[in-house]
A and B are shown apart, each in its own frame.
Chain A
Amino acid sequence: MTESSERDSLALTLERLEKIVHELEGDDLDLDRALALFEDGVRHLRAARERLAEADGRVQRVLEDARGTLSITDLDV
């Protein structure tokens, strides 16, 4: 499940960032709110960039033994 939540996190991060920017670009906003949004935005931006910089690129192979136990081994392609 960690993989899934990691995957979700980038989608959610970008989604949240878009909302922040949208709100920040609106007209009715006091400065405190704008500053808070900006800080929040910068944090999300950093998270997104970290995720984008990841380069795992693993290729692995799933094997199932006679008892139905799964094992995953690295594969050179």
Chain B
Amino acid sequence: MRGRRGAGSGDLFADAEERRGDRRSFTVSELSEVLREATERSTGQVWVKGEVSGLKVYQTGHWYFTLRDELAQLRCVMWRTYTRKLKVTPDEGAEVYALATPTVNRDRGELRLGVVTMLPTAGVGIHQLGFERAREALARDGLLDPGRKRRLPAFPGTIAVVTSPDGAVLHDLKTVARRRWPAARLLLVPARVQGDDAVDELVAALGLVDRLDADCCIIARGGGAREDLLAFNDESVCRAVAACRIPTVAAVGHETDVTLTDLVADLRAATPSAAAELVLPDRRAVERHTANLATRLAHGLTRRTGVMRERIERASDRVRGSLTALLADRRRRTDRLAATLDALSPLAVLGRGYSVARTADGRVAKRVADLPSKTEFTLRLSDGEIDAEAR
């Protein structure tokens, strides 16, 4: 065939032959390895969104499942090292983001995704599932009951703060405290708030809070990605919050994130600063209130003494009045009696020229026989008496 095509045109085939000849043939293993490398290099580690299906959990801790969407499916494997870090086994049909590297399984000659972690999608994802399950358990035990919410103390002296010592949370709290209620004492109970140890550390810190002599407790974390708030959706953390003997305020994440810890705590604040505002009274407001009470106290007494003074004056007026009336009455009666007396008085008769003779023993001489000769007697005239003797 080569001869028929001629020397000039035979080169193509010769080149092709040669090119093929550069490569020896592959064994299955070799080719499989080449494909594996090529597959892994194709995308590298990527996020894959899909529904979990046919999950098998092996004794060893490895998971085998399929990720699928409407058109395609991919076999997945997740080794124990990674599954251990997931709190929840996803339900059939749960939609997740899987961080995975495509690879080829040599033994089975299958394309696979090696998954290292899974996150919930906006829909019902793996964490949502964990969240719902924990919420159900907490609700069953009545820990989400609004009736068990305690009131915060009006004027807290010491406030326990469970948060990360590294974050800005403590600084925010301090700033608010300085402004609103400088007498407050903040007591940091440090705990990591994200990562693998967060749950254990938060539970331990909350247990420690009860050993302190604090008036209330703020559990706080600055905002972060939604998956960074996971520890606050953990059932054991929520139970530790519920078990606190002092009132609790949760301030976890941003305003839009509500964690189970927020639901279990006695009060929820959108941010750590807002928590401090809720916990701490405003000194200026209390001062205004106190000043108002002081004014009313003073007025209360002034008004009271004013009323008393009025009453006393009114009473003394009445006393004076009645005394005056009494005196006038007495005077009138005296005058009347005096007139009567005057009319009846023997002195009036004397005034008309009569006189009265009295013997030495005081008897009035009415007859001549009462005054024998040489008898001394007193003669009473209108303006006095004279001594006299009968002849």
Contact B296 A77 (CB under 8 A): no
> Is the Cβ of A7 less than 8 Å from the Cβ of B208?
no
Chain A, residue nearest B297 (CB):
A41
- Residues of A near B178 (CB, < 8 A) are 57
Asked whether, in the complex, the Cβ of B297 is within 8 Å of the Cβ of A20, the reply is yes
| B184 part of interface (Cβ distance < 8 Å) | yes
CA distance A19 to B90 in the complex (A): 60
User: 1/0 per residue A31-58: CB within 8 Å of B?
Assistant: 1001101100110010011011011111
| Distance of A5 Cα from B377 Cα, bound (Å) | 104
* Contacting residues, chain B, for A6 (C-beta < 8 A): 157
B223 CB within 8 Å of chain A:
no
- B183/A60 in contact, CB under 8 A: no
- B215, B283, B304: which contacts A52 (Cβ < 8 A)? B283
A75–B213 CB distance below 8 A:
no
Q: A60 and B155: CB pair below 8 A? A: no
**Is the CB of B287 closer than 8 A to any CB of chain A?**
yes
**Which residues of chain A have C-beta atoms less than 8 A from B137's C-beta?**
none
When distances are taken between beta carbons in the complex, the residues of chain B under 8 Å from A49 are 290
B293 x A45 contact (CB < 8 A): yes
Tell me the smallest distance from the CB of A33 to a CB of chain B, in Å: 9
- Which of A4, A21, A58 contacts B297 (CB under 8 A)? A21
**Can you list 23 A-B pairs, Cβ within 8 angstroms, ordered by A?**
A3-B213, A7-B155, A7-B156, A17-B290, A18-B293, A24-B301, A31-B305, A35-B301, A45-B293, A54-B182, A56-B182, A56-B183, A57-B184, A58-B186, A59-B174, A59-B185, A60-B185, A60-B188, A61-B188, A61-B190, A64-B208, A70-B212, A75-B170
Q: Is the CB of B183 within 8 A of A77?
A: no
Q: How far is the CA of A25 from the CA of B303 in the complex (A)?
A: 8
Known: A62-B212, A75-B188, A77-B170. Is A51-B297 also a contact (CB below 8 A)? Answer: no
Q: Are A55 and B296 in contact (CB under 8 A)?
A: no
Report A's interface with B, CB cutoff 8 A: 1, 3-4, 6-7, 10-11, 14, 17-18, 20-21, 24-25, 29, 31, 34-35, 37-38, 41-42, 45, 48-49, 51-52, 54-62, 64, 70, 72, 75, 77
B154 adjacent to chain A (CB < 8 Å)? yes
**Interface code B163-182, partner A: CB below 8 Å = 1, 0 otherwise?**
00100001100100110001
When distances are taken between beta carbons in the complex, the residues of chain B under 8 Å from A58 are 185-186
Partner of A77, one of B171, B185, B215, B289: B171
- Whether, in the assembled complex, B211 has its beta carbon less than 8 Å from a beta carbon of chain A, the answer is yes
Contacts of B182 in A (CB 8 A): 54-57
Do the beta carbons of B183 and A51 come within 8 Å of each other?
yes
Q: A14 contacts which chain B residues (CB < 8 A)?
A: 286, 289-290, 293
- Once A24-B297, A60-B185, A75-B188 are accepted as A-B contacts, the answer to whether A7 and B153 lie under 8 Å apart by CB is yes
Please tell me if B189 contacts chain A, counting CB pairs below 8 Å.
Answer: yes
**Cβ distance A35 to chain B, nearest Cβ, rounded Å:** 7
In the bound complex, residues from chain A placing their C-beta under 8 Å from that of B214 are 3
Contact at A7–B157, with CB atoms within 8 Å? yes
How far apart are B193's CB and chain A's nearest CB, in angstroms? 16
Considering the chains assembled together, what is the distance between the CA atoms of A4 and B212 in angstroms? 11
Bound CA span A10–B159, Å: 16
Does B183 lie within 8 Å of A21, measured CB to CB? no
Chain B 287-309 interface mask (CB, 8 Å, partner A; 1/0): 10110011011011101110010
Contact of B286 among A7, A52, A62 (CB under 8 A): A52
Tell me the bound Cα distance from A1 to B192 in angstroms. 29
- Report the separation of the CA atoms of residues A54 and B367 in the bound assembly, to the nearest whole angstrom: 111
**Is B187 interfacial (CB-CB < 8 Å)?**
yes
Tell me whether B297 and A52 are in contact (CB under 8 A): no
In the assembled complex, which residues on chain B have CB atoms less than 8 Å from the CB atom of A20? 297
Residue of A nearest to B175 (CB): A77
Q: Is the CB of A21 within 8 A of B187?
A: no
Chain A residue, CB-CB nearest to B204: A64
**Which A residues are in CB contact (< 8 Å) with B158?**
3
Minimal beta-carbon separation of A7 from chain B (angstroms):
4
Name the CB-closest residue of B to A60: B187
Q: Which 10 pairs, one residue from A and one from B, show the smallest C-beta to C-beta distance?
A: A24-B300, A55-B182, A34-B304, A54-B183, A38-B301, A3-B157, A7-B157, A41-B297, A11-B154, A61-B188
User: Which residue from B160, B171, B296 sits with its C-beta under 8 Å from A21?
Assistant: B296
